[in-house]
Amino acid sequence: MNFLERRNERILGYWLMACCLVLLILVVVGGATRLTGSGLSMVEWQPLTVIPPMSEEAWMTEFDAYRASPEYQKVNYGMSLSEFKVIYWWEFGHRLLARGLGLVFALPLLFFWVRGMVAPRLRWPLLGLLALGGFQGWLGWYMVQSGLVDIPRVSPYRLAAHLSVALVIFAIMFRMALRLLWPAELRRERRTWRPWTIALLAMVSVTIVWGAFVAGLNAGLVYNTFPLMAGRWIPDGILGLQPLWTNFFENTATVQFTHRVLAITTMAIALIAWFRVWRLESDPAIRRVFHVLAGVVVMQVVLGIATLLTYVPVTLGTIHQGVAVLVLAAVIAADYVASRSPGEAREVAHSARLATA
């Protein structure tokens, strides 16, 4: 690879890292939008709208549309216009930021493409990310639609799908950015730590998905004790729904219990992996990245417990959702560093530590 090609790859890598940062902020804002009860304040999709209501008449038009929705009729009946503006701004900001991410991705991609800076091997993956981002926008509206019918609450299934696609996009962009910024060959010797990082990636992903079900069912507002749930290790009624599989997605007790078990198991695996790396690994880069991974996993579990014990306040709940993305980033970075040759892993670990600090 010549100097120009390497320069182009580094530019693309930094651009993808910037997109990851915007997506992290978007996930955080999305969490705050949900926790403030703002997600159903805009009852129309309006994908091209980037200007908020500017006059009293325009505000009344939006408010009248909201007052015809199930959420106003069953949850927020009697809400004033000033109170409506608060939840409207949260949802409008979330949608505007999502469109901003689309522009941050699409416009530079077009520029890089026209300038010949995108290598052939990157074209289809980047176009795939663009298509996935468009699908994510539609999926967000599909999720909102589920709360505009009879029950003023979005479908937990659609919420989990919406968050999952966002994290898939983040994971792909972050991994591509690492590869572009710090290319290296795979280790030739036996890659001892890959089974650990792959297991952690699977556990972190499943735990986050179940966290979305906890959010969708408001399951964090029940059993607000830890480690016991209503004085029991396993709460009553954990398999009370039929068919049995629905308990893991629709029973608040089961969903919260499952999320707890997944989170503690993930932390245990992360700490065991960290201890083994600390004892057995000589490469300082791998040691450092596993230090970061163990730290953010423990922090996330502590945040989750604190959020539960305090009945899911907006601030803690929002931070908890944001740190989940950092945990995912740390696992991806650990997996990447653990699979690189020892000498080339150091720069990746250093930068990954800065990115997740």
- CB count in 10 Å sphere of residue 305: 16
pLDDT in tens, 182-230: 886 655 454 689 899 999 999 999 999 999 999 999 999 999 999 999 9
Last residue of a domain, one of 161, 181, 201: 181
Are 203 and 301 in the same domain?
yes
Are 207 and 356 in the same domain?
yes
Looking at residue 342, what is its pLDDT?
53
- The number of helices, as runs of H, and strands, as runs of E, in the chain is 12, 0
Phi, psi of 120 (to 5 degrees): -50, -40
Rg (CA), the chain: 22
Are 74 and 111 in the same domain?
yes
Are 134 and 259 in the same domain?
no
Are 194 and 307 in the same domain?
yes
Looking at residue 341, what is its pLDDT?
57
Q: Which regions of the chain are under pLDDT 70? A: 1, 184-191, 340-357
Return the beta strands (E) in 172-319 as ranges: none
Looking at residue 283, what is its pLDDT?
86
Looking at residue 21, what is its pLDDT?
97
Are 254 and 323 in the same domain?
yes
- Residues 24 and 192: their CA atoms lie apart, in Å, by 31
Looking at residue 188, what is its pLDDT?
47
Are 121 and 246 in the same domain?
no
Residues 6+ apart with CB under 8 A from 140: 95, 98, 162
- Residues 270 and 325: their CA atoms lie apart, in Å, by 16
Are 118 and 193 in the same domain?
no
C-alpha to C-alpha distances, 347 to 272, 326, 351, nearest whole angstrom: 25, 19, 6
- CB count in 10 Å sphere of residue 66: 19
- What HEC string does 310-356 produce? CCCCHHHHHHHHHHHHHHHHHHHHHHHHHCECHHHHHHHHHHHHHHH
Looking at residue 3, what is its pLDDT?
83
Tokens of 243: 């068919």
Q: Count of domains in the chain? A: 2
Tokens of 182: 């710090």
Looking at residue 347, what is its pLDDT?
52
Last residue of a domain, one of 134, 161, 181: 181
C-alpha to C-alpha distances, 111 to 116, 118, 152, 321, nearest whole angstrom: 9, 10, 43, 33
Are 310 and 250 in the same domain?
yes
- For residue 25, give the nearest of 334, 291, 326 by alpha carbon: 326
Last residue of a domain, one of 138, 164, 181: 181
Are 136 and 193 in the same domain?
no
Query: Residue 243, class by beta-carbon neighbours within 10 Å (0-12 exposed, 13-18 middle, 19+ buried)?
Result: exposed
Range of the domain at 47: 1-181
Are 155 and 194 in the same domain?
no
Residues 6+ apart with CB under 8 A from 242: none
Are 211 and 326 in the same domain?
yes
C-beta separation of 316 from 25 below 8 A:
no
- Residues 357 and 134: their CA atoms lie apart, in Å, by 30
- Residues 79 and 56: their CA atoms lie apart, in Å, by 16
pLDDT in tens, 149-161: 888 899 999 999 9
